[in-house]
Structure 1
Amino acid sequence: MSRLQGVAGRDPRAGFRAESRGGSTSVPQGLLKAARKSGQLNLSGRNLSEVPQCVWRINVDIPEEANQNLSFSAAERWWEQTDLTKLIISNNKLQSLTDDLRLLPALTVLDIHDNQLTSLPSAIRELENLQKLNVSHNKLKMLPEEITNLKNLKGLYLQHNELTCIPEGFEQLSNLEDLDLSSNHLTTVPASFSYLSSLLRLNLSGNQLKSLPAEISRMKRLKHLDCNSNLLETVPPELAGMESLELLYLQRNKLRFLPEFPSCRHLKELHVGENQIEMLGAEHLKHLNSILVLDLKDNKLKSVPDEITLLQSLERLDLSNNDISSLPCSLGNLHLKFLALGGNPLRTIRREIINKGTQEVLKYLRSKIKDDGPSQSGAVPETAMTLPSESRVNVHTIITLKILDYSDKQATLIPDEVFDAVKSNIVTSVNFSKNLLCEIPKRVVELKEMVSDINLSFNKLSFISLELCMLQKLTFLDLRNNFLNSLPEEMESLIRLQTINLSFNRFKMLPEVLYHIPTLENILISNNQVGSVDAQKMKMMENLTTLDLQNNDLLQIPPELGNCVNLRTLLLDGNPFRVPRAAILMKGTAAILEYLRDRIPT
């Protein structure tokens, strides 16, 4: 009876709607009660102009219901409540925060984005456990020096404010991994930023930077650097020494030259569109061995060098809106998925070919390599050899492009004359695709000291010979459209392999040896019969960024796959599993991984 008497005369909905007490907006008692259990409180989008006192004092004051004559079950004992660790008050009308913030010292996440804050209270220094602070989309003109006291901070999001400078001592945030300062009014970046030794992602886009400090190169873990939409005229040459850098955005600046990147061996994407770059030379390309995306649109380029074929991993190339009148035919030998050429005064390729898309353009350029061969005259020239099969080895391609090409011949073996044609020249790429090979030519081992790229796709290979496993400089291996169902464990010796394409074969499981090649970044194994993957072993593959498992026989996706946080592309369409649902798959890799992580058994 005491419980009934205690609530008699009260509105039964009172615990679940906002009340007004003492002239300040309160929050539903039901939310506060749930927050005491979970340690999380979400007040986003409630039109709040100030944070109610009951929120600041949630771990200090006795709950309202405790003042009534109520009996508590074991699950509701307020004195056993959880300290608030996550507070979300985004998308409101807050103009300031009070020093009462110090009453929530256990906070690890504070999200106050999309308000009208012009400053942060000095009491923020008390939140020593804070790991994520989101104050984006406010009106901050400066940061309090006390923010440098947040030694456990990992994510700091300050984009879309009015900041003009960074406080002294900012480098003390030694655990910071993700820092977003985009869309502010910064004119300089402190050299002391170099001491942010844990930083993985730095976004400086949309500011007024005219230069970057050379010291930025000391950020040895930095993977993602975004400097889009600034006033940069040059990039410090020290930037080229950032070995961990994977994504570099320099669009919409005033660059006249493309930087050289001798040490950026992991660079995957380089975006330098909408600048004033006039020349692209071999020195700019020769070190971009791992590049997947190269964006050069809206510049002043007049030509593309033959050395573009050094970029054997390149998948997307945007050359639109430049002054390019012709393209090297060797461009056709790249494995491009996307090539943009619009807005150039091209004279050597008809418009209808360009309009047919990337693959038709590449096919046309490849055909010109053959058509332009000098053997059309009566005599056999120096730059070509006539083989017994009446096919030719283009020695010019070997000498100038370092490519040994004997593809699309429907040959059951590679003639010795092909390997003989190499002589003392250096060959970095081998293309034996579109033949009828049942085994890998043994003489390929002769190229083990130089070859980094081999294309054996569209053959009849049912096994991989040990000769291939001796090519320890191999970074790209294309084995698409063969009859393979296993890979030898000796492939573990391919200690530089970054990309392997096994699509359209007969694999029933992900080959065990792949888990033991730590350099692998891209595994393409779509259109097989793969029924399972080992998520625990895959988590150890720290460099893996792309995993294509489309059109296989996966009945379930292990939730632990969500822990593979380095994956940027995870493709799962065309498998018979029921979850994740198609709606989740359509949201992209990040959403899939988050969905899987949420389902890992605790």
Structure 2
Amino acid sequence: MSGLERLNLKGNRLRRLPQEVEALSRLKVLNLGNNNFDEAPEQLKYLVSLQKLHLFGNKICRISPSIFDGLQNLVLLNLNNNRLTYLPPEIQRLKNLECMSLDNNQLRSLPKELCCLRKLRELHLSHNSIIGLCKMKRLRILDVAGNNIQIFPTDMENLELEELYCEDNPLLEKNPVSAIQEEDILTLKELTARFILSQLENKNIYLHRAMQNNLEVQAVLSHKRKCAQCGSSFLSMWLECVKFLDVKQQMTTSRNLELLPVRAFLCSYKCFNHPDHGLFGIAVL
């Protein structure tokens, strides 16, 4: 039995994984769908050859981080129809994961560590409660239908998606909002940060040397953003805007989706009031 490569235990009302399964060091495909697990079995960490794991249709609300230690060869992970509210950051250990499906769970967000999965090409997240997404530049298929997404992250336009499904989300609509303010009032911290950032971008060698020994300032400036209009760097005072990408010619998308709202940031009201930049303010109702 130790040489078994495929095992189907689907629909057996299991609450625990049989101890004999731990010894299946050559197992490549395991189907534990439609059982009664309330957490992912910790014995899975012993299945070092596993490539495809199906855990759909259980009652899983927790995944022990230790499980990921032994699943280095996992290519496909199916956790549809469970009760997950979060994913542990240790999921980044699944270095060979190509496809992950988490439809019909209770997720509100994704850990930033998910971006470390360099081989992840397909991600299914339909019918959760997701508000935001992390940056996953290598994705080709993304399904986030039926969530609570209003606007996509700034780097969304850099993705090379082939398929995007996002129907049944409260996406922002293209309604212009004009600025009620023209002058910017910046704090001393913001003014100082913008000056330092501009000097660093202009290759100020003395400032570069001083920065190398100041870890605290490095940490503060690591949160910088770039203005979508003028390209200048700024720190923590900005205008949050949205731009609408025409995606109908670029990828397969949800029916009737033509314009995709993507978050953008501007450094000043001057940039916001600049004509023809194609950016819209976000009104808070």
After TM superposition, the score normalised by the length of structure 2 is: 0.62
Tell me which residue corresponds to 1:431: none
Tell me which residue corresponds to 2:146: 274
CA distance in 2, matches of 1:207, 1:222: 20
Counterpart secondary structure, 2:246: helix
Tell me which residue corresponds to 1:222: 97
- Matched residue type, 2:103: N
Tell me which residue corresponds to 2:162: 292
Q: Give the 5 Å matches for 1:389-400.
A: none
- Matched residue type, 2:159: L
CA distance in 1, matches of 2:86, 2:97: 18
Give a deviation string over 1:62-97, Cα, whole Å, max 9, x none. Answer: xxxxxxxxxxxxxxxxxxxxxxxxxxxxxxxxxxxx
Tell me which residue corresponds to 2:15: 141
1:170 corresponds, among 27, 44, 61, to 44
CA distance in 1, matches of 2:13, 2:174: 45
- Matched residue type, 2:157: K
Counterpart secondary structure, 1:248: strand
Tell me which residue corresponds to 2:25: 151
- Matched residue type, 1:174: V
- Asked if structure 2 preserves the Cα contact closer than 8 Å seen for 1:193 and 1:216, the reply is no
CA distance in 1, matches of 2:247, 2:74: 39
CA distance in 2, matches of 1:279, 1:177: 34
1:132 aligns with 2:15: no
User: How far did residue 258 of structure 1 move?
Assistant: 2.7
Tell me which residue corresponds to 2:133: 258
2:110 corresponds, among 218, 228, 235, to 235
- Asked if structure 2 preserves the Cα contact closer than 8 Å seen for 1:204 and 1:228, the reply is yes
Counterpart secondary structure, 1:286: helix
- More RCO (CA 8 Å, sep 6+): 2
CA distance in 2, matches of 1:341, 1:168: 43
CA distance in 1, matches of 2:144, 2:124: 7
Tell me which residue corresponds to 1:211: 86
Q: How has the CA–CA distance of structure 1 residues 244 and 332 changed in structure 2, closer, same or farther, with 3 Å as cutoff?
A: closer
1:188 corresponds, among 35, 42, 62, to 62
- Matched residue type, 1:187: C
Q: How has the CA–CA distance of structure 1 residues 285 and 272 changed in structure 2, closer, same or farther, with 3 Å as cutoff?
A: same
CA distance in 2, matches of 1:284, 1:270: 14
1:331 aligns with 2:266: no
User: How far did residue 193 of structure 1 move?
Assistant: 2.6
Q: Which has the larger radius of gyration?
A: 1
Q: How has the CA–CA distance of structure 1 residues 186 and 337 changed in structure 2, closer, same or farther, with 3 Å as cutoff?
A: closer
- Matched residue type, 1:271: D
CA distance in 1, matches of 2:157, 2:115: 13
Q: How has the CA–CA distance of structure 1 residues 199 and 160 changed in structure 2, closer, same or farther, with 3 Å as cutoff?
A: same
- Matched residue type, 1:243: R
Higher strand share: 2
Q: Give the 5 Å matches for 1:483-494.
A: none
User: How far did residue 279 of structure 1 move?
Assistant: 1.6
Counterpart secondary structure, 2:20: helix
Give a deviation string over 1:286-314, Cα, whole Å, max 9, x none. Answer: 3312x111111111111379xxxxxxxxx
CA distance in 1, matches of 2:82, 2:253: 30
**Over aligned residues, Cα RMSD in angstroms?**
2.7
Q: How has the CA–CA distance of structure 1 residues 269 and 304 changed in structure 2, closer, same or farther, with 3 Å as cutoff?
A: farther
Which runs of no fewer than 5 residues in structure 2 stay unpaired?
176-242, 260-274, 280-285
Percent identity for Structure 1 against Structure 2: 30
Give a deviation string over 1:484-520, Cα, whole Å, max 9, x none. Answer: xxxxxxxxxxxxxxxxxxxxxxxxxxxxxxxxxxxxx
CA distance in 2, matches of 1:128, 1:236: 35
- Asked if structure 2 preserves the Cα contact closer than 8 Å seen for 1:227 and 1:250, the reply is yes
Tell me which residue corresponds to 2:255: 340
Q: Give the 5 Å matches for 1:370-449.
A: none
CA distance in 2, matches of 1:206, 1:187: 11
Give a deviation string over 1:374-421, Cα, whole Å, max 9, x none. Answer: xxxxxxxxx9xxxxxxxxxxxx7xx979xxxxxxxxxxxxxxxxxxxx
CA distance in 1, matches of 2:110, 2:247: 31
User: How far did residue 340 of structure 1 move?
Assistant: 1.7
When the two structures are aligned, how many residues end up with a matched partner?
196
- Asked if structure 1 preserves the Cα contact closer than 8 Å seen for 2:144 and 2:166, the reply is yes
Q: 4+ residue stretches of structure 1 with deviation over 3 A?
A: 166-169, 335-339
CA distance in 1, matches of 2:2, 2:123: 32
- Asked if structure 1 preserves the Cα contact closer than 8 Å seen for 2:103 and 2:125, the reply is yes
Q: How has the CA–CA distance of structure 1 residues 258 and 338 changed in structure 2, closer, same or farther, with 3 Å as cutoff?
A: closer
- Asked if structure 2 preserves the Cα contact closer than 8 Å seen for 1:142 and 1:166, the reply is no
